[in-house]
Amino acid sequence: MEWSVLITPVASFFGAGLAARLAVKSFYKEKVWERKAEAYTVIFGAISEMNNWFSVHQDAYESDTEMSKEEKEELWTSFKGARTELRKRLGREIWLIPEECRVRIDKMLVQIDDREPPDWFQMLDTNNGETADCIRDLREMVRLDLELDKISLFTKAKMRAAKYFYLSL
């Protein structure tokens, strides 16, 4: 009889401790996930902005259209800002971004920074393709890293319940 009086509070204490530990672990995991998502958003935005520079210039070249000096300066300023932001973000998040993502971005940056392209059109075409390919490759890596394609059992149950509820109306 005396043991049963002690077991309940001790078990409750350990249960509460375990629950608190799991909650804190989940909290930190969610914070890291949010930070990664924010970093990836900035990275994708910067690469997309860089891709825009090549795309707009390539479109102008192919349509034989002259761009205004102001438009060129605006695009160049945007491109330089995006490239700088990309490098800063990669430097700040070195501990967070997986190595394979960094290697892919570095490959793109080396290609873009080639100072001796054969000709203007080939440089635009190559770099437009390289930035687009980088975005596509990173998208797959990021989806794996953030586990976006995993659906929890709870989410599946909610989806089934919603589907059942909708069909039963």
Task: Evaluate whether residue 118 is within a structural domain.
Answer: yes
Residues 6+ apart with CB under 8 A from 67: 56, 57, 60, 75
Q: What pTM was computed for the model?
A: 0.77
Per-residue pLDDT of the chain (169 residues; tens, 9 = 90+): 576 677 777 777 777 777 778 777 888 888 988 999 999 999 999 999 999 999 999 999 999 999 999 999 999 999 999 999 999 999 999 999 999 999 999 999 999 987 777 788 889 999 999 999 999 999 999 999 998 877 666 666 676 777 666 655 5
Domain residues for the domain of 129 are: 36-168
Task: Evaluate whether residue 136 is within a structural domain.
Answer: yes
Task: Evaluate whether residue 17 is within a structural domain.
Answer: no
Task: Evaluate whether residue 80 is within a structural domain.
Answer: yes
Task: Evaluate whether residue 131 is within a structural domain.
Answer: yes
Q: How far apart are CA 109 and CA 85, in angstroms?
A: 13
Task: Evaluate whether residue 76 is within a structural domain.
Answer: yes
Instruction: Specify the number of domains making up the chain.
Output: 1
Task: Evaluate whether residue 30 is within a structural domain.
Answer: no
Task: Evaluate whether residue 16 is within a structural domain.
Answer: no
Q: Tell me, what DSSP letter sits at residue 97?
A: S
